[in-house]
Structure 1
Amino acid sequence: MNLVYFLGLIFQAALVFTASTLLFDILHFFLHKWENSRFALLREFSRWHDVHHKFLDKEMKVNPSWAKANLWCHLVPEFIVSILGTMVFVMWFDWIAVLFVALIHTGLFALRVKDNGRDINHTDMDRLNGQRGFVFVTPTYHALHHVHPHQFFSSFLSLFDVLFGTNCPIKGRRFLVTGASGAYGQALTQRLEKLGAIIETAKFGEDYEIDHYDRLGEKLQKADVLVLAHGAKTDECWTANYTSFVDLIEKFRVIGKDRLTPPEIWAVGSEIELHGDMGIEALKPYAASKRAFAARAREFYTSPDLTYRHIVPAAFTSRMGKGLMSADVAAALSLFLIKRGFTYVPVTYTTLAVWNYIRFRFIPWPKSVRKAPIISNKSA
């Protein structure tokens, strides 16, 4: 067996394993879809799978009393489907590669049986990690499927959820939105409501003021997702674009510290994070405040205590000025990417937001940006 042939086998085995798990993900989706089917047999298959969700419930607690039923109603059928979904590829791939994948599935099945259905993805959890992963399915990622059974269907790669937009639960969740009267905030809340979200709004001067957030406490307690869509381009921009963003995120982080799933934040940034004020005097305070928040947001983005999404739109039409896309288009594109698991959300026609990802994640910000003076204002 020469090296080229061996490497070819490894590559084929990787393709077969990925494809076979994708086939299972498709079946997995339908097992949930069939719970309301008009066909009794399909509803029965769905009930079998529901046993698995009783074995590991929405609170991420394993119920040993369901272990035997989980074996026969979930583990055995899953193994059979995995083997059949693997063997079909013998028509296109080297049989040795296919056999190798079948042996992997067999070994994983044996380990699960040995441990009464428990494995790295199926165990008691008191707190999920805010860093759920994107390409590969992590224990936190799969745990989210048990918390939200109609989302997060992928089992190995997140390909299914990325393709079909099942990577972010929206229906039935409570969203607390700032800036909901602005162009983007209004468009986003309307689209969220159409998707079944429960919307609450937070108004500056009514629900909160800078350094005074107590009136917002009850709304934050109820919220699953905090959406920060407010902002300003005037002299008030520091309190609007930096201080209030950081304060609200930190308050929400404290409120959600004992939740099973970390609090989720959607914060609206700007492509000005990358290109700066471009020498335009009127843009300097706005650019400085947005860049200062982006520098601070890197910590939120990587924190295990939060699921933080950084939305970076190109210019859209609003009270702040005209853009080449409407706020509704910006909101639609944001949700398209968010539903596919993006935590950095480039909503762009310039590509600058895409390039800004490198700036946002990896390039150290100068101290002059990270420690820029904050102008004291009374608006947000």
Structure 2
Amino acid sequence: MWLIECKNLFQEGQAAVLCSLAVAYFIFYYFSGTLFFDIIHFLLHKCARSRIRLLRQISKVHSVHHWYFDRHLHYNEKYRILNALTNLPLELSCQLVGSWLSERALSWILQRDQREFATTILHLTLIIEFIRVVVVIYLGGRDTSHISFHSVPKDRDWILVGPEYHSLHHMYPDQFMSSLFRLFDWTLGTSSTLKNKRITMTGVNGAFGAALKKELKSDGVESIKALRYGVDFFDDDSVSAECIKTLRDTDILILAHGLRYGDVMKANYETSRRLVELFAQHRKPLESRRPQELPEVWYVGSEIEIHPSWGSKSLGAYSASKRRFLPFAKSLYDSDSVVYRHIVLAAFSSRMGPAIVSADWAARWTMWWIRRGLKYVPVTYTGFAYLNFFKFLFKIKAEVNGLRFSGDGMKVEGSKDV
């Protein structure tokens, strides 16, 4: 019956409609299969730490995969066959079951004459899933998602899971759980980790800085060190030796200091830029058997980056200082040698004045987004920060010559200004 219907569609010039429908069914089935595996994958990791011995034994069906491709992103040939006999069949069975369940659910809403076509696409999907796993078994489990990086490259995708993203799962088995699409990690907030990270913060005595520090401590960071504006750093000629030492032993630099009044250009732009340059120049990654991860820079921006200053002279100066940082920020955002997070805050209650929300609220939402892997972090109740994303991504031009972070220090190509 469905073949007759397909033939009629082709004869009526609706081949594009049929092909589009087939692609939509295939994506739905394949996505459902990977999502079902992500759920089982997550549960098996939980079982590995269970007090119940039987659950721990069951979890080894997947644990062998992590023995085969370990936290150092090295293959252990001792477990190659065991991985092929346990984990890969598990992955295949989860994908097949997940795809089949999605077809069963879809059949409830499809008309009877559409079900046969949908079922045929399911069979095609199951065949493709089977062939993919067979090929991976033939290759000894060495697929494109498992690459032995010496230094994990920057992950530029935000929907699909690539080798950069999946390598972080092997380094941090309780995070980065998704296998193909990142929906599962978005839902659970497992798209990033701060575990054992050495953090240096400015502005820790401010309302937002103090609240953010409290949130960071709950994420298992190794240490949080403070740099004080006007004490540890002020300008090019006034950077303490202790500041340099602190930056040398830093994985994540968070720039949460700033002024609303006074010399705002120096506080909000010049010193922030200078600290990033010093961080790039002096940072020394930890010597470890594990692959190196990219350093991170977080900058606390403001919705003033997009909305007007409403005729206020002081607000206009504050706006100019924040916007002056944006071309430099965009160059960091585009760089392949550093992970840059641009945090755009709406007004919150602080010593600068009252607002609808508290600094604690802003800090919680900041970390909520970051746990989901966002590089541009909108923390807003007005909506301006969402609009500013399009300005930041498409309108702001990155500085032509910028910083490049490396394990041996900073490399600057050309001048630091546009």
Q: Normalising by structure 2, report the TM-score.
A: 0.82
Q: Paired residue for 1:248?
A: 275
> Pairwise mapping of residues 83-122 of structure 1 onto structure 2 (< 5 A)?
83-91=96-104, 92-93=106-107, 94-122=118-146
Distance of 1:262 and 1:131 partners within structure 2: 10
In structure 2, C-alpha distance between the alignment counterparts of 1:119 and 1:213, rounded to whole Å: 49
Which residue number corresponds to residue 283 of structure 1? 315
Corresponding position of 1:376: none
Matched, 1:134 2:176: no
Quote the sequence identity (%). 35
Tell whether the 8 Å contact from 2:297 to 2:341 is kept in structure 1 after alignment.
Answer: yes
Considering Cα pairs closer than 8 Å and 6+ residues apart, tell me whether 1 or 2 has the greater RCO.
1
Q: Distance in 2 between matches of 1:365 and 1:101?
A: 43
1:52-87 per-position Cα deviation (integer Å, ceiling 9, x unaligned): 122222222233333222222322221222222223
The residue correspondences of 1:169-248 to structure 2 (distance < 5 A) are 169-197=193-221, 198-211=223-236, 212=239, 214-248=241-275
CA displacement 1:114-168 (0-9 Å, x = unmatched): 2211111112112222234211112211111112111111111110111111112
CA contact (8 A) 1:90 1:98 kept: yes
| 1:305 matches 2:330 | no
Taking a change above 3 Å as real, the CA distance of residues 41 and 312 of structure 1, as seen in their structure-2 partners, is same
Among candidates 385, 395, 398, match of residue 353 of structure 1: 385
- Distance, in Å, in 2 between the alignment partners of 1:22 and 1:12 is 15
How far is 1:365 from its partner?
5.5
Gaps of 5+ in 1: 368-380
Instruction: Extract unaligned runs of 5+ from structure 2.
Output: 1-5, 10-14, 108-117, 400-418
**8 A Cα contact 2:249 2:284, kept in partner:** no
The number of residue pairs the alignment matches comes to 368
SS of the counterpart of 1:69?
helix
Pairs within 5 Å for 1:15-164: 15-91=28-104, 92-93=106-107, 94-164=118-188
Query: Is the CA contact 1:256–1:263 (under 8 Å) kept in the aligned structure 2?
Result: no
1:309 is paired with a residue of what secondary structure? strand
| Superposed CA offset, 1:168-197 (max 9, x none) | 213443322111110000001112213333
CA offset at residue 26 of structure 1? 0.9
Task: Provide the secondary structure at the position in 2 that maps to 1:226.
Answer: strand
Counterpart residue type for residue 129 of structure 2: H
Larger radius of gyration: 2
Structure 2 residue matching 1:36: 3-state secondary structure: coil
Q: TM-score, normalised by structure 1?
A: 0.90
Change beyond 3 A, Cα 1:230–1:105: same
Residues 207, 32 of structure 1: alpha-carbon distance in 2 compared, 3 angstrom cutoff:
farther
Q: Which moved more, 1:263-272 or 1:83-92?
A: 83-92
Cα distance in 2, alignment partners of residues 95 and 123 from structure 1: 36
